[in-house]
Amino acid sequence: MAELAPYAVSEGNTRGRKVAEDAPQGRSEFQRDRDRIIHSGAFRRLEYKTQVFVNHEGDLFRTRLTHSIEVAQIARSIARRLRLNEDLAEAISLAHDLGHTPFGHAGQDALNACMKTHGGFEHNLQSLRVVDKLEERYAEFDGLNLCFETREGILKHCSADNAAKLGEVGERFLNNRRPSLEAQVANLADEIAYNNHDVDDGLRSGLITLEQLEAVPLVAKQLKEVRLAYPGLPERRVVHETVRRMINTLVTDLIRQSESNIRSQIPVTLEDVRNAPAMIAYSPEINEQQRALKNFLRIHLYRHYRVLRMSAKAQRIIGDLFGVFMADSRLLPPQFQSLAEHGLARAVADYIAGMTDRYAIREHRRIFAVEEGV
């Protein structure tokens, strides 16, 4: 492997872990972070959480687990090409969605509404809370005791109020500094992954069509080339070949533009990266095109009436569960009753956020359906 760029995060410039530990044997600090994330309970639950489609709707749709693996794959390719710390980019990618509620965006909005007078709910902050506190797997500390740079990368956005409460990891939001390039890579890899797999899943579900997508330049260009090069290719393969080329276009453009940004900013150290403007970016032309795709998906897929119907159900389930536990905390499982001693609403939010789609549906039945076991 090529040597790391001097401004990449390394074992030499990491701010380390909250609780000091012996150096790992036979793997790097960031490989250890990745391994801890993979062995966490929250990571396994990603298999049964979804982003757009609810888990029982079909076996071929992305789950948060396969999404996170796709993000890691894209982030690693980019990090390697830019001589950044591939292990760190991978660890951030695998952990970035750990704090997500069941039922994707609808679930997050519902829980945030429930928590409005209790400090709100934000999935980014919750991902950090999972790795810092909620995972109970180690004898010597709460959470996973990850390196600062991994935690910093997980915290993608944050309000000033919340940042002020977070200490070191929140500081950059208060003094307008950037995270590591590895965190910037993971952030954009997330976007590349979901924009493209939502096109694929959206087409498979029949909620959007190829004809509609011909109005989106990023798709239209690749689609036209595929149809020209392979006349008579079956539609499913046309879709896969098109999506594959879209990912490639975005990744290639991102690498080229980021290399050029790095050349003009000439960072020498990790500190320079933090003080410079964001360097991981698309070219203006591709940025425009990927925004148009995002916009298309928002209008035609995320706001499709069938997606909205499922979202409405999800919101009802989460609202009902929140209400019932707030009214009587004795209905919570014992582990969350003890968490509730430090604040009931946050403990209820932790419990609900940790649920998978199907667990939330089942828990709702257990509590509200008389004929169901408890």
Residues in the site for Mg ion, rule: CB under 5 A?
97, 190
Q: 249: which residues sit within 8 A by CB, 6+ positions away?
A: 218, 222, 286
Nearest-approach distance from CB 2 to Mg ion, in angstroms: 28
**Cα gap 56→263, rounded to integer Å:** 48
Nearest-approach distance from CB 95 to Mg ion, in angstroms: 10
Identify which of residues 28 and 187 has a Cβ nearer to Mg ion in the complex. Answer: 187
For residue 150, give both structure tokens.
């991994």
Identify which of residues 135 and 190 has a Cβ nearer to Mg ion in the complex. Answer: 190
Identify which of residues 154 and 270 has a Cβ nearer to Mg ion in the complex. Answer: 154
Identify which of residues 111 and 348 has a Cβ nearer to Mg ion in the complex. Answer: 111
Nearest-approach distance from CB 311 to Mg ion, in angstroms: 18
Nearest-approach distance from CB 157 to Mg ion, in angstroms: 12
CB of 314 closer than 8 Å to CB of 102:
yes
Structure-derived torsion over alpha carbons of residues 180, 183, 185, 187, reported in degrees to the nearest 10? -140
Identify which of residues 104 and 354 has a Cβ nearer to Mg ion in the complex. Answer: 104
Sign for the pseudo-dihedral over CA of 81, 86, 92, 94: positive
Nearest-approach distance from CB 190 to Mg ion, in angstroms: 4
Identify which of residues 67 and 300 has a Cβ nearer to Mg ion in the complex. Answer: 67
One DSSP character per residue, 295-309 reads: HHHIIIIIT-HHHHH
Nearest-approach distance from CB 86 to Mg ion, in angstroms: 19
Closest residue to Mg ion, judged by C-beta, is 190
**Cα gap 354→274, rounded to integer Å:** 32
Identify which of residues 182 and 190 has a Cβ nearer to Mg ion in the complex. Answer: 190
Sign for the pseudo-dihedral over CA of 105, 109, 115, 117: positive
Nearest-approach distance from CB 364 to Mg ion, in angstroms: 25
CB atoms within 10 A of CB 115: 19
**How many angstroms from the chain centroid is the CA of residue 216?**
25
CA atoms within 13 A on the CB side of 373: 0
